[in-house]
Amino acid sequence: AVIDYTCGDRWMEAARDGAAAILFVGAPDSDQTAYTTHDAHHLNASFDLPRFYVDRDVAAAHGLLEGASIRLFSRMGFQRLQGRNLFVMIPGADPGMDGSSNLVALACAYDTFGPLPFATRNPDRAANVAALIEAAAAFRHDPPPRALLIAFFDNEAQAQAGQFQFH
Share above pLDDT 90 across residues of the chain, in percent, rounded to a whole number: 16
Selection from 53, 8, 1, 41 nearest residue 22 by Cα: 1
Write out residues in the chain with pLDDT < 70, as ranges.
Answer: 27-47, 76-78, 98-100, 112-124, 157-160
Q: Is 106 helix (H, G, I), strand (E, B) or coil?
A: strand
* Amino acid 158: pLDDT: 65
Please write the tens of the pLDDT for every residue from 133-143: 999 999 999 99
Q: Do residues 109 and 58 make contact, with C-beta atoms less than 8 angstroms apart?
A: no
* Amino acid 21: pLDDT: 84
Q: Which residues, 6 or more positions from 137, have their beta carbon under 8 angstroms from its beta carbon?
A: none
